Amino acid sequence: AMSEFLSKHTGLQVLKLNNNGLGIHGGTTIASALIKCQAECEKQGKEPALHTIVCGRNRLENGAAPAFANAFAALKSLREVRMPQNGIRPEGIAELVNGLASNTKLAILDLQDNTFTHSGSAALASALPSWSALEHLNVGDCLLGPTGGRLVIEALEDRSTLKVVNLQYNEIEQDGAIALAKSLKTLKLLESLELNGNRFDAESNAVELIKAALSENDIDDDIIGSLSDMEEITDDEEEESESEQSEEEKEEEEVKDTSAMDEDITRPKTASETLEDDLADLVSQMKKQLNV
């Protein structure tokens, strides 16, 4: 009944189906009906009226993602899409955001509590330039990961329309926080920035850099909200990170003049120490520019 209704009502503007237990089959049926509705609009020579789809907590998973991606790509009229907590994994996320890329008027995207990892994050980063009107982006609790998080953050730099950004609990590390400080320089309309639960110290220079970037835009750093639940990197993970330190640096050490062995050479700084020093310099320079 719902499928028949949706496929024929070309004037439908808002569709809200929250917590209905649709599952993969139900979700695919709904999405297929939306494609039929778009075809009917085309037959009647008019643009689709549907601009808002809310379909959270429906266990859509990856199985329903292709149908919704096809529906999004066909409609091209969407301004608001909310699909949180659907158990959608990276492959499904990539399909969804690729389908949404054709909706150039998209202003609100909420995919909270699905699973992106690197591949889903890369797809989102590629799609972000398509949404020149984007104001609200919620990808909290999405396991973007350190590299995926940085990809998304760097892509935010070109979305100056953003007002609300949720990046909570995504395993974003200090390099991602530094990249965010750079992206924030163009986000002059920002009203809310959620970063809690990531993997950098709330008292670090990276956070100071973020606050300085906000100050440069005359934005109060209160918009950051709480940083009370930041995740610590374990000793094992820190050792793994250090072991991945540039092989080039190690090779350079090996090919140094043997004569240097007899000289009193101070211990080279680790990558993390160098990063902290660079950050401290950046924070100091920015504070001087802002007369803080």
For the stretch 212-260, pLDDT in tens is 999 999 999 999 999 999 998 765 655 554 454 444 445 445 544 443 4
Chain center to CA of 186: 16
pLDDT at 278 over 80: no
| Distance separating alpha carbons of residues 254 and 72, to the nearest angstrom | 55
What percent of the chain clears pLDDT 70, i.e. is strictly above it?
A: 80
Calculate mean pLDDT across residues 111-132: 98
> For residue 288, how far is the Cα from the chain centroid?
31
State pTM to two decimals.
Answer: 0.84
Within 28-175, strands assigned E span 52-54, 80-82, 108-110, 136-138, 164-166
> If DSSP codes are grouped into helix, strand and coil, which group holds residue 43?
helix
Could you tell me which of 88, 45, 81, 38 has the C-alpha nearest to residue 63? Answer: 88
Confidence of residue 274 (pLDDT cuts 50, 70, 90): low
Measured between alpha carbons, how far is 270 from 70 in angstroms, rounded to an integer? Answer: 48
Write the single-letter amino acid at 134.
L
Local structure of 166: helix, strand or coil: strand
Looking at residue 239, its pLDDT comes to 56
The residue with tokens 């009203």 is 191
Helices (H), 132-270: 145-155, 174-184, 205-216, 235-243, 247-254
pLDDT mean across residues, the chain: 88
Pairing between β-strand 164-166 and β-strand 136-138 as defined by DSSP bridges: parallel
Sign of CA dihedral 281, 286, 290, 292: negative
d(CA 274, CA 112): 34
